[in-house]
Structure 1
Amino acid sequence: MPRLDHINIDVSDGPRMVRFFAEVLGAEDGVRPPFDFPGHWIYVDGHPAIHLNVATRQHDFPRGMVNHVAFGVYEFEPTKARIEAGGWPYRITGIPDSEIGQFFVEGPEGLLLEVQFRRERPKDV
């Protein structure tokens, strides 16, 4: 079955983005091959799921090249506590007619991160 292997994001402040993923997802900055450019590999559940390239942003560099990145499924309370402890702005929503709830968390440099959680399925009326 195909699965998301990783996402690659150009960032100007690598350490700040690493902290964001650590605080929101509980992810860790991990081992990265010795490329000839700076960056970080962020590990989620032991897998290098997020590759950050540290790049100099130009004024014409398009913001929002990545609309959002989604990870799931996490437990609601611990996830909410991590997001709030980091002071990251967020909103909570959900996928209609499903058990999936969503945090949409605003990260550094305009990144929007979706973190999914299980919720009770709406009861039929």
Structure 2
Amino acid sequence: MAQLILNHFSIRSLEIEKTVAFYSQVLDLKKGPRPDFPFPGVWLYSGADNDYNNAVLHLIAIDKNDPEGLKKYLGERDFTSLQGSGAIDHIAFLAAGLGAMLKKLKTLAVPYRERTVPVLKLHQIFLDDPNGIVIELNYPAAEKTALDAQG
């Protein structure tokens, strides 16, 4: 089997504006071009928006007044099933700049949980997006050690 590389993840959201704001403010993802699908949505990019491969998050907005385009294209989902991660437990990213992220989360008043996994040499931050989806940010444990040494 060929090596698999994650291209993007998609979230169907009843809170599209809050979701865009969360990922833009917390993870610095930027709005960019999106194909003209028969339903509303937003693509958020990590990197240049002139390459669709950088659209790491595809947000799918739900228009309760006109859901037919979405139903025909991606299938119907019960609105009540759109809270939390469902069968997916979390989405994880490798990251750098732990100190800056901790400061940003505090400034934005975003609750988070932390833990270090010594065997993996990772310091992890867990936070919940506006849809209840758990996001895991993995930083080199050395960054946490350096921050702790600074006091």
Shift of 1:59: 5.6
* Aligned equivalent of 1:70, options 92, 103, 114: 92
Confirm or deny that 1:103 pairs with 2:110: no
Q: CA RMSD for the aligned pairs?
A: 2.2
Shift of 1:120: 2.4
Identity %: 25
Contact 1:74–1:115, Cα closer than 8 Å, also in 2: no
Matches within 5 A, 1:75-94: 75-94=97-116
Q: Between Structure 1 and Structure 2, how many residues are aligned?
A: 122
Query: Could you tell me which amino acid in structure 2 is paired with residue 120 of structure 1?
Result: A
Cα distance change, pair 59–25 in 1 and its aligned pair in 2 (3 A):
closer
Structure holding more strand per residue:
1
Structure holding more helix per residue:
2
Which stretches of structure 1, 4 residues or longer, exceed 6 Å deviation after superposition? Answer: none
Residues 39-98 of structure 1 show CA distances to partners (whole Å, capped at 9, x for unaligned) of: 111112331001110125856325322321111122101111222222111011133412
Match of residue 60 from structure 1 = 80
TM-score, normalization by structure 2: 0.71
Unaligned runs of 5+ residues in structure 1 are none
Larger radius of gyration: 2
State how far apart, in whole Å, the 2-side matches of 1:35 and 1:26 are: 25
Query: Could you tell me which amino acid in structure 2 is paired with residue 61 of structure 1?
Result: S
Query: Could you tell me which amino acid in structure 2 is paired with residue 49 of structure 1?
Result: V
* Aligned equivalent of 2:34, options 28, 32, 41: 32
